[in-house]
Each structure stands twice: as structure tokens, then as C-alpha cells.
Amino acid sequence: MKIVFYGAGNMAHAIFTGIVNSNILPAENIYLTNRSNEEALKSYSDALGVQYSYDDEQLLKDADYVFLGSKPHDFDQIAERIRKHTDSNQKFISIMAGLPITYIREKLTVDNPIARIMPNTNAHVGHSVTGVSFSSNFGPKSKDEVLEVINAFGSAIEVQEDHLHQVTAITGSGPAFLYHVFEKYVLAGTKLGLEKSQVEESIQELIIGTSKMIERSDLSMEQLRKNITSKGGTTQAGLNALSEYDIEGIFEDCLKAAVTRSIELSSQDENES
């Protein structure tokens, strides 16, 4: 299998690093290119053993999967450049936000199978939750191959394309929302009189430990919470204080705003095209 990445930015880097580290295919079967930052490509090649080139014909020859990871506004130019080098056996995987499958197909002037994936930055540590949508002509074997690639840097949720907006809000933007909550937790902790460095270190370990408990337990998060909440104890007192605020409503507003913006950006990209 040969995989080509058009665009080697932050998210693409996380993906191809995950693929290399998982050993699902040799590093030399992965090819990278970008607009002009050859120094970055060389560093990835030296560190991981992947290959890079600025020759579209060489890149696309015998390629099985082509990841489209450019900035959305750069895609038209890339599509015009590469379409003459594509063949009917290739499958395209887009990590470009906002560009629907129909638009990608139109610009590439191909009938090839196309998938859209929506990873998050946790791909860097092999724990991205990635939404994926497949065009109707994606065969079962090819789907399995794509899901195997995604599982190299996390896990996959297959959804209809119009539900990628929700996935973007919940998991794509999710790390930022959780970081924000953790930031505020640290600030609240420092107001109790401890040094900020102590609070930050403690909460980092708290987050890691809690995540491992969720990962390793068969219990729901609700039950895990109940297991450490003694009637009349300190945890119950803190939870009673939290119950004075509509936390669920706050997160509903947060996610709805992100979904709305995702839809707006998608419509904006289509209209500008």
C-alpha cells in the first residue's frame, strides 16, 4: 500500500506519525508534500523514514490512498494541478474542514471513492476520536483499510456526512473545551492558597488518572462518580455547589455554537467556490 499526503501540517503530521508508529505499513510507503516548506519534509523524513517529493507524477504513481490535507482555500489550485495524474484505483481521504465530498469530486473531476475524516489533536498521542464519512462507492475492503489507518492514531466513528458538523463540535473542538475547563480548575485551586505549580502538577496527574479509570473500568462515568461520593462528605458538598449551576445547559450552548459555526464555514466555503 502506498499513501500520499498533500499537506504535511499539524494534523497530517499526527496522522502519518501514528501510521508509522503502528507499523501497519513500512514508513517508506508514505510520501509527503507541501507548498514550499521542504525543511519540514526533510525533518519528517529523517525522523520517521517517510519519503517526500514535489513531483506530482511521482507522488501519485501507484498511490492507493491520497490524503488531502491542504488549507481548504488552497484545494482548488491543488486539484487543478494533480487531476491529470490521478487514476481510477486511487481513493481520496480529505482532512480539509468544510469541503463536502461532492465539491472535492467536482474539482478533481473523478468518480473515485472519497472519504472525509475529522480527527482531533489527540492524534499526536494516538487517541484521536475521528469522525469519518464515506462516499457511496467506497467498497467494504477499502473501508476496512481506511478504518485500520484511522485506528493507528485513535478510534473511528462512522457517520453520515451531514453529521460531521456534530462530530467536529463534540470531538474535533472537544480537547479545547476540556483544556478550558482544566484551566479554570487550576485557577480555582490556586485561590485556595497552594502554589500554582503544585496545583498544575496535581491536576495533570488527576486528569491522567481519571482518564485511565474511565478507560479501564466497565462502569459508566455516572457510576464512577457515585462510587467516590459519600453521603455528607466533601465530594458531595462540592457537587451540591456545582448543582447550583446549569452545567449541562452550558455545554449544550457550547456545542450548539460550534455546530452552527461549522455549518456556516461549510456554506461559506461552498459559496466562495
- The Cα angle at residue 219 between residues 216 and 223, in degrees rounded to 5: 130
Return the CA Rg of the chain.
Answer: 22
Mean local confidence (pLDDT), 80-85: 94
pLDDT digits (tens, 9 = 90+) for 10-35: 899 989 998 999 899 999 999 999 99
Residue 265 has a pLDDT of: 81
pLDDT band at 114 (very low <50, low <70, confident <90, very high): very high
Under 8 Å between Cβ of 114 and 135: yes
Orientation of helix 196-216 relative to helix 174-190, angle to 10°: 140
AA letter at 234? T
Mean local confidence (pLDDT), 166-188: 95
Q: Phi and psi dihedrals of 56, rounded to 5?
A: -60, -40
Residue 128: CB atoms within 10 A of its CB come to 28
Look-up of cell digits 462510587: 227
Residue 270 has a pLDDT of: 58
**Domains (range + CATH), the chain:** 3-158 (3.40.50.720), 168-263 (1.10.3730.10)
Least confident residue range of 146-150, 238-242, 249-253, 267-271: 267-271
DSSP-derived secondary structure letter, 124: G
CA distance 214 to 217: 5
Under 8 Å between Cβ of 3 and 67: yes
Report which of 184, 191, 92 is spatially closest to residue 142, judged by C-alpha positions: 92
Query: For residue 87, what are the contacts with CB-CB under 8 A and spacing of at least 6?
Result: 60
